[in-house]
Amino acid sequence: MRLTVIALLLVMSGTATAVAQTAKQNRPAQTQTGHCDVGVVSNLTKFKIKDAGTSDPAVVVPVEPWHLDEVVVDTVRAALGNRLVVQRIPYRGEKVESRPFLLWQLTVQVRPSIRQLASGTRCSRYVFVEEDSVALNDSVRFYGIGIYGSVLHVVIRARLYDGETFKALLLNPSTYATGRAPESVTPGRAAQNTQLREATQQLLVRSLNEELSARYNLGLFPPMKELLVRARTAAP
């Protein structure tokens, strides 16, 4: 009887662990509860695969299950320690609008402003992390998160906004991190490639930490992380 109980407890423990891991991987976006020092907005849900040997456009692969936006929030939270309350602000997405232009109607992608994204929340500061691009030379340019040839790359930029006026306080230039892409990555199987997902997450953490800690503009502005901590210290 005792052996049966022990075996049952082990099975239940293993099941609970599996459920906890699944919940962590599939946790929903957090909504604001209580005080918020830093609201973090990002929309990193696409992975681009570009063959360096052709002029064909990159293939875009949806990677929502990688939870890169959660990685962004966790990285900001880890960089600031326990001094600030950091919360994720869900990205509400772009919309398509038809706008008049001379005698034609143009269909354009309208990106929400930080004020629109933060609607319904109240944080002292907002950090907006988005994809960017960087040119290595006249013929090679990395766009956002993806693979170019055999190079895995993450190119992002972070912007800091005031939580009351939504004035831009710091607009960092883009930073990027690169590594060697796993072999035999195909668009049809990229989203299920565990090695690719983990390598991408690591590059994202490295690139974002640089965005938070670097001193840009010839040192005229302090790092974003320092500005965030200062704001919290100065708050009444």
CATH code, domain with 40: 3.40.50
Quick: pLDDT tens for 203-224. Answer: 999 999 999 998 875 566 789 9
Asked if the structure places residue 3 within a domain, the reply is: no
Say what the pTM is.
0.78
Number of domains present in the structure of the chain: 1
**7 pLDDT higher than 50:** no
Examine residue 193 and state whether it is found in any structural domain, yes or no: yes
Is a pLDDT exceeding 80 seen at residue 191? yes
**Is 13 among the domain residues?**
no
Query: Residue 121 domain-assigned?
Result: yes
Residue 15 in any domain: the answer is no
Question: Is residue 4 in a domain?
Answer: no
Domain annotation covers residue 125:
yes
What is the residue range of 166's domain? Answer: 29-234
**CB contact set of 224 (below 8 Å; sequence gap of 6+):** 127, 158, 160, 170, 172, 211, 212, 213
Q: Which residues contact 122 (CB under 8 A, 6 or more apart)?
A: 32, 36, 163
Region 46-68: mean pLDDT is 94
Identify whether 12 is part of a domain.
Answer: no
User: What are 162's strand-pairing partners?
Assistant: 125
Q: Quote the strand ranges of 58-103, DSSP E.
A: 59-62, 86-88, 95-101
For range 50-62, the mean pLDDT: 91
Higher-scoring residue by pLDDT: 181, 15: 181
